[in-house]
Structure 1
Amino acid sequence: MLVVDDGLLIREGIRQVLVAAGCDVVAVAGDVAEMMETLTRESDVDAVVLDIRMPPTHTDEGLKALEDLRASGSHLGVVLLSMYGSPTLAIRATAAGAGTGYLLKDRVTDADMLVRAVRTVMGGGTVVDPEVVAQLVSPAHPRSDLRRLTDREREVLRLMAEGSSNLGIAGRLVLSPKTVESHVAAIMTKLRIESVREEHRRVLAVLRLLRASE
């Protein structure tokens, strides 16, 4: 795993949290150029925890780095960290494809959430910060297909967006895995998401949720 942040204390803090949770942090980097050099040199990096705002402009260098990785064909798991719960940034991150997470930097102190996010993206899943999801899981948006969903289906979609597997959703909502599968199938049908590979369908569903705020 690789930790990328231009702030030394934050970078070290993230590294310590991950190491304490049993993750193998093979390197750290202070900017995108150093990150790319490290990825070229270290063949055993399977995930990156990356700040969105990096030198030189401190705007969206981390997002651009993610997009460049995906454009090059990389399926490396990437968790982006942001100071702000921006649906727009979350949409850009999620649109890059599977294996991507978007978390608020405040979550760094929540070791369980950070590690779950890292493991989810390593497995090709998608994670969006609960605070961002909470803003969006609502039937109130007049143009949103979410109005077709039942309360339970919106709850299942919320947990999908946070990176939970069907089994994890079943445990959280005290439902059988079969029932969760039925809810997921209904969500895909109501949001008109075609049957493609499962991880891509989940990404599309999360994107539909995020774009409901536009």
Structure 2
Amino acid sequence: MRVVIAEDQPLFRAGLHRLLTETGFDVVGEAADAPDLLRKVRAHRPDVVVTDVRMPPDHSDDGLRAAIEIRRQRPQTGVLVLSHYVAERSAFDLVGASADGVGYLLKDRVRDLDDFIDAVRRVAQGGSALDPEVITRLLGRHREDPLSALSQREREVLALIAEGRSNYGIAERLVISEGAVEKNVHRILRKLDIPLDGGHRRVLAVLAFLRT
């Protein structure tokens, strides 16, 4: 899979390059600012972009705004945002009408490199990888404490749904049966007022709720 990395800190950018290369990705371009990221994507047509949020020229949410533009111009290119914080308004615009091929992970919450690599592959293949904190912050823009009705177990299941895990993967992580996972999913969707038949991807169902 072809990857373009956008990160203005050289040491972190080099670390990402090495990690991705060693795990089988083809890093075809690197960018230290948002305009160069857009140029590299046009030139190399990668399968996925891994980008920070804050970078030159404005050192605000330039990287995230570039990601939104990439999704507009090349919806077939996956975009994984890797940042220290959640830029709520721009993050909501990035997700747009679909989470297909979109990821948003927080740097200080990436505990397992294998999970990170799995997230990059999933986004490159059209899946999603959203940190639970991102989901919670975006929900908070539309409804006061929207997750207050969920039990602790339901919150755990929702967090794993947001990571793009299957029922089997959730069951394996929580050491429960797939049937128990399915029951929790149905309760989550009901409590969040999301139609149970609203789509085949649970992350998209949560995002559909956000857009209401």
TM-score tier, shorter chain, comes to 0.7 to 0.9
Partner of 1:123: 125
* Residue-by-residue CA offset, 1:95-153 (whole Å, 9 max, x unaligned): 473122222234678422321221232233332335x36977xxxxx944423333322
Distance 1:69 1:168 in 2: 30
Distance 1:107 1:154 in 2: 17
Gap change, CA 1:63 and 1:85, over 3 Å in 2: closer
Partner of 2:53: 52
Partner of 2:39: 37
Question: What are the residue-to-residue correspondences of 1:171-210 with 2, within 5 Å?
Answer: 171-194=172-195, 195-199=197-201, 201-205=202-206
Question: What are the residue-to-residue correspondences of 1:94-173 with 2, within 5 Å?
Answer: 94-95=95-96, 97-98=98-99, 99-106=101-108, 110-129=112-131, 132=133, 143-173=144-174
Partner of 1:17: 19
Segments of 5+ residues of structure 1 without an aligned counterpart are 137-141
Distance 1:203 1:88 in 2: 18
Aligned AA (2:118)? R
Q: How many residues of Structure 1 are paired with residues of Structure 2 in the alignment?
A: 202
TM-score scaled to structure 1, two decimals? 0.77
Distance 1:155 1:206 in 2: 17
TM-score scaled to structure 2, two decimals? 0.78
CA RMSD of aligned residues (A): 3.0
Distance 2:76 2:131 in 1: 21
Distance 1:110 1:174 in 2: 19
Segments of 5+ residues of structure 2 without an aligned counterpart are 138-142
Task: State the identity %.
Answer: 42
Distance 1:177 1:109 in 2: 25
Query: Which is worse superposed, 94-103 or 167-176?
Result: 94-103
